[in-house]
Structure formats: C-alpha cells, structure tokens
Amino acid sequence: MIVVLVAACGCTLAKVQVDVASERTTLENQVLGSYNALNRQAMLTASVRGVDPLGQVQPPATMSAGAQDAVDAMQVIAFHADDVDAFKQLGWVGEANDGLLQAFAMERENVPDELADFVSRYSREEFDSVVLAVNNARMTTMRRVVETNADLDADDMERVQAVFGSLNAENALSGERIQGADGRWTVKQ
C-alpha cells in the first residue's frame, strides 16, 4: 500500500543513513579518554609548583595510591621513550598485540651511524631492565584505565590490552616490528 502511495505521489522516501559505532570503536574511545585523563594528571603533577608565593615549600597534593602508581608509570614510560624508540629502530623490540613490548635479538651489526654509540653502551641486562620497566609501567597504566572507567572491569583487561596493542601498532613508524591481531609479526610499511 505504501508503494502505491509513493508511486502515485511521485515522491521518494528520504535516504536514511545509520552509522553504527562498533564495540571496538566505543572501547577505543573509552580507553583513549581514560588514558588522556591519566596523561593530563601526570602532566599536572609534574608541573605543580612546590613553593607558594611567599617562598614556602608546599607538599604536593595527595592522591590515591592507584593514581600515584599511574603517574609514576607514565613517568617511567616518558623517561625511557628515547631508548624505546631506538630499540624499535634497531629491531630489538616490537609492539605486541597485547600492548606490551616484545624483545628480540640485540643485533649489533649494520646499525645506522647515528645509533652506533647507543648500541655500544647497552648491555643485555640493561636492555632487559628497560623493557621490563616499560612493560610493567604499561601494565600499570592499562590497569588504571580499567579502574577509572565505570564501563570497564577486570574481565575487560584483555580487550583493553588489545586496544593498546592496536593503537601502538598504528603509531609505530615504518620499519618497526608490529604484531597483528592474529599473532604474526611483520615490519610496518
């Protein structure tokens, strides 16, 4: 009957476009929102003055243990960022699909000239220590994202890690190792 009315009137039904946000997109938005809030908190913590206008030293504002752990974790990640970037450029680490770094062999041959000094001063123990510290900090950050997001709980941790892994892979530079959702390692083009 509607078809007859539409045909008789010579008009058409309006085209309706419905965009449905996937669960992954929603989860990514939740994770990014929580992560950005943590990042802002870490930056504010680092920028707060320790002296009042009269020159008196003031104690830092108190925060929960979880918030302090997250701030500390983000500082660890920032502190080691240059080393991790060099590790990635050298192929010593890659971005795993669980949001963590995966260590590979420390190839010391055929390195770019600008990284030759860097390569010569890193022992395997120091390398392992940096990777472990960054991975522990990443896990702390991911746990805090889950803790501070009302829509997430501990059962969502694996999915949150997958989001971080996906975002880290997207942000990886050409030539860096990344792990796909299927577990296969590739070099980003």
pTM of the model: 0.77
Q: Residues near 117 by Cβ (< 8 Å), separated by ≥ 6?
A: none
Locate the domains of the chain by residue range.
28-36+63-187
Q: What is the pLDDT of residues 138-173, one digit of tens each?
A: 999 999 999 999 889 999 999 999 999 999 999 999
Phi-psi region of 99 (alpha: psi -120 to 50; beta: other; left: phi over 0): left
Strands 101-103 and 93-95: antiparallel
Q: Stretch 87-92: mean pLDDT, rounded? A: 98
Q: Does position 18 have pLDDT exceeding 90, yes or no?
A: no
Token readout for 187 is 């070099």
Positive/negative CA dihedral, 145, 148, 152, 154: positive
Percentage of the chain surpassing pLDDT 70? 81
